[in-house]
Amino acid sequence: MGRPASGEDAFDRFYGATAPAIRAYILGHCSDRDAADDLFQSTYIRFLRSRMASQPDAPEARAYLYRIASSVIADHGRELQRRRRLQTVEAPPPKTRDPTSTLAESLALREALRELSRRERQLLWLLYAEGFSHKEVAKIMNLSRGSVRVLAFRVRKKLARSIAERGPDSEEVRA
C-alpha cells in the first residue's frame, strides 16, 4: 500500500505495541491456533485497509483495532456454528493448545475463566488487560456504558465465587 516510510514506521511501532495483546486476546477466544493466526492476520489486514491506518498514533486506534478483532472473532464464531450445523455427525476439530498455557491450566483462575462466555471474557480482557475505560469498552462491544458497568460487576462476582468454590484447587491460587 503506497504509504510513506514514516507511515510504515508508525504502523510498525503501533504493531509492536499491540500485537502480543491482540494475539493473546484472540487465543483467549479461539482454541485452534491455526485459526487464531488467521484471525490475527485478518485483524491487522483490515486495520491497514481502514482509514485509521494512516494515523496509528491516534489515541482511538487501539480501541478501533480491538473492535476489528472482536468483529473478526465473532465472524469466525458464526462460521463455526454454521459449519457445526451442517456437519452434525462430524467430530469436532482437535484442539491444539498453547504449551505454555497448559502449565497454568490447574490454576483456579484459568478454569474459572474458561467457564465464562465469550462476551464475559472479552469484557474482562478489555478492562483488565488493556485498561480501557467503561466508555471505551462500551464502544468496542456495542453496549451502553451502564451495561458495561453492571456486566463487569456481575462477571467479577461470578469469577470470585467460581474461584472460591473450587475448594482445594483454589488453595494453589491463594498460596
Q: What is the dihedral of CA 30, 36, 40, 41, to 10 degrees?
A: -150
- Pick the closer one to another protein by CB: 84 or 154: 154
48 binds another protein (CB under 8 A): yes
Site size toward another protein (CB under 8 A) is 43
Q: Which stretch binds another protein (CB under 8 A): 10-18, 62-70, 75-83, 84-92?
A: 10-18
- Pick the closer one to another protein by CB: 28 or 138: 28
What's at 143, amino acid-wise? L
Helix axes 33-49, 5-27, angle to 10 degrees: 150
Site for another protein in 19-38 (CB under 8 A): 19-21, 23-24, 27-28
Contact residue for another protein among 63, 68, 73, 124 (CB under 8 A): 124
Round the CA-based radius of gyration of the chain to a whole number and report it: 18
List C-alpha distances in Å: 9 to 12, 103, 131: 5, 36, 25
Which residues, in sequence order, are CB contacts of 10 under 8 Å at separation 6+? Answer: 55, 56, 57
Q: Where are the alpha helices (DSSP H) in 29-167?
A: 33-49, 61-86, 99-103, 108-114, 118-124, 134-141, 145-165
- Pick the closer one to another protein by CB: 138 or 152: 152
Q: Which stretch binds another protein (CB under 8 A): 57-65, 67-75, 86-94, 166-174?
A: 166-174
Q: Give the number of other Cβ atoms within 10 Å of residue 59's Cβ.
A: 8
Site for another protein in 90-109 (CB under 8 A): 98, 100-101, 104, 107, 109
Binding site for another protein (CB under 8 A): 1, 8, 11-12, 15-16, 19-21, 23-24, 27-28, 40-41, 44-45, 48-49, 98, 100-101, 104, 107, 109-110, 113, 124-125, 128-129, 156-157, 159-161, 163-165, 170, 173-175
